[in-house]
Amino acid sequence: MSGGGRADGEDGPRPAPRGVELSAGRVGRPHGLDGSFYVTRPRPRLLTAGATVTVGGSARRIARRAGTDARPIVRLEDVRDRDGAVALRGQELTVAGEDAPVLEEGEWWAHELEGCAVRDGARELGTVTALLELPSCEALEVTPRGGGETLLVPMVGDAIREVDVGAGVVQVDAAFLGLPGDPGTERGR
């Protein structure tokens, strides 16, 4: 999920698409003896007590959610001891799109942004390869069009001008990102 402006013509809350499995994180190391474990690469909004997650091919309810959004601790209803948590370690936790929380205007699921072209006007800068959750904000990981070093674009209003998921385009401000100008071309805005 992420913030930023939305330009796809939709207003207000919207659910995740049906049939999509959203990653909620991975089972990390056990925490205590009751079957609780840390979640690595967490999506905190998907990890709420009572939510149903799929892990190891089985749907399971979250019986307990503790810790912080950065380091959540989860216990599943049918995992009752440390050995049960150890057996799940490293497996992905997913949530069915239809069971996910509704997104507000200006929020997107990672899969909606991955593959989008990143542009500054008519100038194509690269393609979104991932949505990263950093300590201060979320950022788009962008593979440059002509190769080279990966670019991180913070999901903040100064960097992101417009997101049009339907067209597969994210408009950014290259000057704000500190990118050199594109010699010989005008910025097409």
Residue with tokens 């209003």: 157
Domain extents in the chain: 1-16+103-189, 21-99
CB 41 within 8 A of CB 70: no
The pLDDT confidence band at residue 3, using thresholds 50, 70 and 90, is very low
CA distance 159 to 47: 29
Q: Rounded mean pLDDT of 161-189? A: 79
CATH 3.40.190.10 is right for the domain spanning 1-16+103-189: no
* pLDDT > 70? residue 1: no
CATH number for the region 21-99 comes to 2.40.30.60
CB 40 within 8 A of CB 28: yes
The pLDDT confidence band at residue 68, using thresholds 50, 70 and 90, is very high
Q: Rounded mean pLDDT of 168-185? A: 82
Of 3-12, 134-143, 144-153, the poorest mean pLDDT is in 3-12
* pLDDT > 70? residue 5: no
Structure-block tokens of residue 125: 């800068």
Four-CA torsion 17, 19, 20, 24, nearest 10 degrees: 110
Written as one string, the DSSP assignment of 67-94 is E-SSSEEEEETT--SHHHHHHHTTPEEE
CB 132 within 8 A of CB 142: no
Higher pLDDT: 137 or 31? It is 31
| H or E element in which residue 65 lies | strand 58-67
Written as one string, the DSSP assignment of 132-174 is EE-SSSEEEEEEETT--S-EEEESSTTTEEEEETTTTEEEE-T
How does the average pLDDT of the chain come out, rounded?
85
Q: Let me know if 69 is exposed, middle or buried by CB neighbors in 10 A (0-12, 13-18, 19+).
A: exposed
Half-sphere exposure of 82 (CA within 13 A, CB side): 5
| Residue 161 backbone dihedrals phi, psi, to 5 degrees | -85, -40
Percent of the chain scoring above 90 in pLDDT: 59
Residue 14: its pLDDT value, please? 59
Q: Rounded mean pLDDT of 165-170? A: 91
